[in-house]
């Protein structure tokens, strides 16, 4: 059929940008349709601080940061700094099946560390670790959080955190 | 409340299938209709579809009405798609059960389906990251294998469980899977083979993990009155519960080697249906990873906390042991098409009760079974209890 008559063409772009669903760090806008009420978390990261919200109503330390306390429904929050030094609770090294956006970094260590007096008055965070192998770590090792700069896609400067062995 | 029974069950071959999402739906539909030939499709008044991420894997939403069209069903009472990630399937059974028990529906089709192997495999893999809290744990690469690796590391640290004991779970489930023609993996394995397979996230190797799988399964649920007309071999639903603590992000998880919500869910279920752990003949449990099954032995009350490794090592979860756990091969052999898994577990119970499985994996004389479906990073636990015997009464009880 195609040889007999000229078919109408619907021409599509050759490539489309990296789908936002595959970008793990997109929710960082102070205003507009992607705005988040916890933008201060990201602003503080840009200022070199890993922080979270503490409810002024019931005093509960909350992570992830939220705009309303799930315990007392209070909406008066104070931003507090998460203690810099914590302790490794568990860790592994992702060797297969890393998310596409960080595939180039695999294998990398993924850990859970406890900061402060968890669970009474502390937090238990997940975090990536670089330049260290699974074999070099043990439960109970001291770690620190530090700021990670996310470079690309696009020009916007973005920040996250990671763990490093003390 | 009205008594509810499963009167029909069908399944597709699980695996890396050269079949579309819609093909899988139609195959499972035909399988269940063939299983119960005297059912008139016009009697089906409700439809519940378990599907976890069709939006991301096959770019289709509003899937329950699409299933109705593909299977020629006109819904007049209730229709919904259920999504609780890996437990989307059992959720579909639960709502069909409730809809019939309360008298809204008489006959419901329950179908679970997932198409996970696509030409965009790295997208499929990355789609598992949003099962956890994407913004705070997903951004650290926290998919299922690393999470369960951490649970395994902690269980080994806290209770002395060994990698060999983890491997023994795969050996058992691979043996039963070798007698299951619908399973993705049908080869027996040894402890050595599990330990030597590729490392995914230490201490978990490839054989400690269930797979990325395409598959579908379907059930027909009916009221007691309809069930009597349709079959001589109903499987009765005794009850079911879900326990979900306010814990989705790492900070709320507490100790990873203890699944407190499962412990509470089991206690609640046993009390609801009037059984004890020792009364259970078959347990279809959510062995997404070998460590999961070990922790589940403990939290379901089959052994003491911390002794799950010993439980498999002593063969207590084999057919003929204290309780037959995953006699169909579990998720480890069948693969784990998220929305279909919970339905596949119920299908296994139906086939076992009817005696329609190969003798090598048949649990002779079984009367009570439970199915456990978990979701997320093991904070959400979903349980159902089934029996060959009609329950005295049906109470949701407290």
Q: Cite the active site residues of B.
A: 86, 336
**Considering only residues 50 to 69 of chain B, which have any Cβ-Cβ distance to chain A shorter than 8 Å?**
56
CA-nearest residue to B249 within chain A is A64
Write down the mean pLDDT value for chain A: 91
CA-nearest residue to B256 within chain A is A90
Each residue of A18-70: pLDDT tens digit? 666 788 887 778 888 888 999 999 999 999 999 999 999 999 999 999 999 99
Domain B139-209+238-387 of CATH type 3.55.10.10:
no
pTM: 0.96
**Residue B203 preceded by cis peptide, ω within 30:** yes
What's CA B204's distance to the chain center, in Å? 21
Nearest of B323, B321, B308, B329 to residue B370 by alpha carbon: B323
Please answer whether residues B207 and B189 qualify as being in contact, where contact means their C-beta atoms are separated by less than 8 angstroms. yes
Q: What are the per-10-residue average pLDDT scores of chain B (398 residues)?
A: 97 98 98 97 98 94 98 98 97 98 98 94 82 92 94 98 98 98 98 98 98 97 97 97 89 94 97 96 98 98 98 98 98 98 98 98 98 92 97 79
Q: Pick from A19, A92, A103: which is nearest to B202 by CB?
A: A92
Residue A111 — pLDDT band, cuts 50, 70, 90? very high
Measured CA to CA, the distance from residue B213 to residue B91 in angstroms comes to 19
- B251–A89 C-beta distance less than 8 A: no
- A123–B153 C-beta distance less than 8 A: no
Residue B146 contacts A, CB cutoff 8 Å = yes
Measured CA to CA, the distance from residue B229 to residue B384 in angstroms comes to 24
- A123–B143 C-beta distance less than 8 A: no
Q: Tell me what percent of the residues of chain A surpass a pLDDT of 90.
A: 67
If you average pLDDT over residues A65-82, what whole number do you get?
97
**Interface-testing mutation among A126, A129, A164, with chain B (most B C-beta atoms within 10 A):** A126
What ipTM is given for this predicted complex?
0.94
Each residue of B126-137: pLDDT tens digit? 888 889 999 999
Nearest of B68, B30, B70 to residue B49 by alpha carbon: B68
Residue B72 contacts A, CB cutoff 8 Å = no
- B140–A99 C-beta distance less than 8 A: no
Measured CA to CA, the distance from residue B333 to residue B247 in angstroms comes to 29
- A110–B142 C-beta distance less than 8 A: yes
Nearest of B313, B296, B304, B316 to residue B381 by alpha carbon: B296
How far off is chain A from B142, nearest CA to CA, in Å?
7
Helix axes B144-159, B290-299, angle to 10 degrees: 50
- B129–A110 C-beta distance less than 8 A: no
Each residue of B196-231: pLDDT tens digit? 999 999 999 999 999 999 999 999 999 999 999 999
How far off is chain B from A14, nearest CA to CA, in Å?
17
Measured CA to CA, the distance from residue A47 to residue A62 in angstroms comes to 20
Positive or negative, the CA dihedral B282, B283, B288, B289 is negative
Measured CA to CA, the distance from residue A79 to residue A32 in angstroms comes to 23
Domain spans, chain B: 4-120+212-235, 139-209+238-387
Task: Fold for B4-120+212-235, please state it.
Answer: Peroxisomal Thiolase; Chain A, domain 1 (3.40.47)
Pull the structure tokens for residue A32.
């507009």
Structure-token match 């058992």, residue found: B172
Q: Which chain B residues touch A136 with a CB distance below 8 Å?
A: none
- A98–B137 C-beta distance less than 8 A: no
How far off is chain A from B76, nearest CA to CA, in Å?
36
Using a CB–CB cut-off of 8 Å, the residues of A that contact B are 19, 21-22, 24-25, 27, 63-64, 70, 89-103, 108, 110, 112, 119, 123-128, 134, 139, 160
The domains spanning B4-120+212-235 and B139-209+238-387 adopt the same CATH topology: yes
Measured CA to CA, the distance from residue B98 to residue B77 in angstroms comes to 13
Q: Which chain A residues touch B125 with a CB distance below 8 Å?
A: 97-100
Q: Tell me what percent of the residues of chain B surpass a pLDDT of 70.
A: 99
Query: What is the interface size between A and B, counted as CB pairs within 8 Å?
Result: 106
Pull the structure tokens for residue B80.
């919904």
Q: Which residues pair with A111 in a beta bridge?
A: A91, A127
Residue B211 contacts A, CB cutoff 8 Å = no
Give the DSSP letter string of B210-223: ----BEEEEEEEEE
Q: What domains appear along chain A, each with residue ranges and CATH number?
A: 27-81 (no CATH), 83-166 (2.40.50)
């Amino acid at each position: 059929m195609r040889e007999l008559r000229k078919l109408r063409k619907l021409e599509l772009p050759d490539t489309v940008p990296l789908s936002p669903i595959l970008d793990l760090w997109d929710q960082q806008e102070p205003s507009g349709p992607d705005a988040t009420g916890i933008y201060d978390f990201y602003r503080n990261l840009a200022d070199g601080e890993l922080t979270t919200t503490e409810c002024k109503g019931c005093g509960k330390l909350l992570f992830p940061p939220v705009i309303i306390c799930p315990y007392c429904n209070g909406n008066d929050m104070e931003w507090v700094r998460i203690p810099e030094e914590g302790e490794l609770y568990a860790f592994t090294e992702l060797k297969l099946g890393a998310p596409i956006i960080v595939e180039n970094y695999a294998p990398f260590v993924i850990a859970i560390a406890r900061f402060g007096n968890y669970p009474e008055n502390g937090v238990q965070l997940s975090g990536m670790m670089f330049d260290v192998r699974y074999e070099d770590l043990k439960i109970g090792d001291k770690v620190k959080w530090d700021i990670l700069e996310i470079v690309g896609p696009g020009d916007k400067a973005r920040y996250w955190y990671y763990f490093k062995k003390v | 409340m009205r008594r509810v029974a499963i009167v029909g069950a069908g399944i597709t071959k699980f695996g890396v299938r050269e079949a579309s999402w819609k093909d899988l739906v139609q195959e499972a539909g035909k399988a269940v209709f063939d299983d119960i030939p005297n059912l008139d499709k016009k009697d089906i008044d409700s439809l519940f579809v378990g599907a976890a991420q069709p939006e991301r894997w096959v770019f289709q939403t509003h899937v329950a009405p699409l299933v109705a069209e593909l299977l020629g069903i006109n819904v007049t009472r209730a229709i919904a798609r259920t999504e609780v990630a890996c437990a989307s399937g059992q959720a579909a059974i639960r709502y069909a059960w409730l809809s019939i028990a309360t008298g809204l529906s008489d006959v419901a089709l329950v179908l679970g389906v997932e198409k996970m192997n696509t030409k965009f495999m790295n997208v499929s893999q990355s789609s598992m990251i949003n099962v956890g809290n994407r913004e705070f744990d997903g951004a650290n690469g926290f998919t299922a294998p690393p999470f369960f690796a951490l649970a395994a590391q902690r269980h080994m640290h806290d209770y002395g469980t060994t990698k060999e004991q983890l491997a023994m779970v795969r050996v058992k489930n691979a043996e039963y899977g070798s007698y299951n023609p619908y399973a993705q993996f049908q080869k027996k394995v040894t402890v050595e083979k599990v330990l030597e397979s590729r490392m995914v996230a230490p201490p978990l190797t490839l054989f400690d993990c269930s797979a990325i799988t395409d598959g579908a399964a379907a059930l027909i649920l009916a009221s007691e009155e309809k069930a009597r007309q349709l079959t001589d071999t109903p499987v009765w639903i005794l009850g079911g519960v879900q326990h979900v603590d306010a814990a989705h992000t790492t900070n709320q998880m507490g100790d990873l080697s203890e699944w407190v919500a499962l412990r509470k869910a089991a206690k609640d279920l046993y009390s609801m249906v009037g059984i004890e752990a020792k009364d259970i003949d078959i347990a279809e449990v959510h062995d997404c990873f070998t460590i999961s099954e070990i922790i589940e032995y403990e939290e379901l009350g089959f052994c003491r906390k911390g002794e799950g490794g010993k439980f498999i090592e002593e063969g207590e979860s084999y057919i003929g042991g204290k309780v037959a756990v995953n006699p169909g091969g579990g998720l480890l052999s069948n693969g784990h098409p998220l929305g279909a898994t919970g339905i596949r577990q119920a299908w296994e119970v139906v086939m076992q009760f009817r005696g329609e499985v190969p003798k090598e994996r048949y649990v002779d004389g079984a009367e009570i079974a439970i199915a456990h479906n978990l979701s997320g990073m093991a904070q959400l636990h979903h349980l159902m209890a089934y029996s060959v015997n009609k329950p005295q009464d049906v109470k949701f009880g407290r």
